[in-house]
Amino acid sequence: MLFGRLKDIFTHTHSLQFPMPLHSNPLFVAVAGNIGAGKSSLTKLLGERFTWRPYYESVDDNPYLADFYGDMNRWSFHLQMYFLAHRFKYHKEIVESGQSVIQDRSIYEDAEIFARNLFEIGKMDKRDYENYVSLFHVMMEYLKPPDLMIYLKASVDTLMNQITKRGREFEQGIQRSYLEQLNRHYEDWIAHYKVGPLIIIQTDHLDFVHKKEDFDYIVGLVKNALPQLQLFET
């Protein structure tokens, strides 16, 4: 069913005629970062601040995530294909909508971080990984990159603390070594990110959810990266 759904999405997009935006210069912003970095919270807050439509990562309704954390070897390919299909669909909707949108986790992270890591640690076999990467690169030919990528950089201590605080049962068994591996892949990906503007925010000493001054600091960074926002400030 997953592969049929992915085929339908991709086939439709192949012949897609993108409509004109509903208003001029809609913005597409993506928030990237490791598990527990605060992507969803920042997506919500910036969406409210700038009246951007939020697109969230599929977690609570993900049919593979709990199984994946129980047996990564068995479910890694299925999970990554689910995420790839889901985010491709959302990316397509974002471009079609003509609205300003902020997305929690980008499609680039699926291939550059998570699938790559699963292959390198032996949780996804070479045949599945190569097929996955081949499909990912074909998809990239049809997708407009974000107008701004925001990378939330956090230490593993911060990530583990945040994961514990939010209390998702299936995340509580995540090993420190796994987060360390993901962080290394994030740093490598960000160092080579060239498809558009990028903000890197070190979050270890920020509490943008509860401290207005921390959130205002991030808002200032976003406005500097996207000067067109200032035209609409009151």
The answer to whether the beta carbons of residues 226 and 148 sit under 8 Å apart is yes
Query: In which residue are the tokens 């699926």 written?
Result: 110
150 in Cβ contact with 222 (< 8 Å): yes
> Average pLDDT, whole number, for the chain?
86
**What are the pLDDT digits (tens) for 167-210?**
777 677 788 999 999 999 999 999 999 999 999 999 999 999 99
Give the model's pLDDT for residue 60.
Answer: 67
Q: How confident is the model over 107-125, as a mean pLDDT?
A: 94
188 catalytic per annotation? no
Q: What is the mean pLDDT of the segment spanning 112-117?
A: 94
Give strand ranges (E) for the chain. Answer: 28-33, 53-55, 101-104, 148-153, 198-202
Catalytic residue among 8, 104, 128, 147: 104
Whether the per-residue pLDDT at 4 is higher than 60: the answer is: no
Q: What are phi and psi of 199, to 5 degrees?
A: -115, 130
Q: CB of 72 within 8 A of CB of 123? A: yes
Note whether 76 and 118 are within 8 A (CB).
yes
pLDDT one-digit tens code per residue, 122-156: 999 999 999 999 999 999 998 999 999 999 999 99
- pLDDT tens across 28-60, in order? 999 999 999 999 999 999 999 999 999 987 666
User: Does the pLDDT at position 232 exceed 50?
Assistant: yes
What percent of the chain has pLDDT above 70? 86
Contact 53, 102 (CB under 8 A): yes
Domain architecture of the chain: domains with CATH? 25-227 (3.40.50.300)
Q: Check if the beta carbon of residue 143 is closer than 8 Å to that of residue 107.
A: yes
Q: Is the pTM of this model over 0.85?
A: no
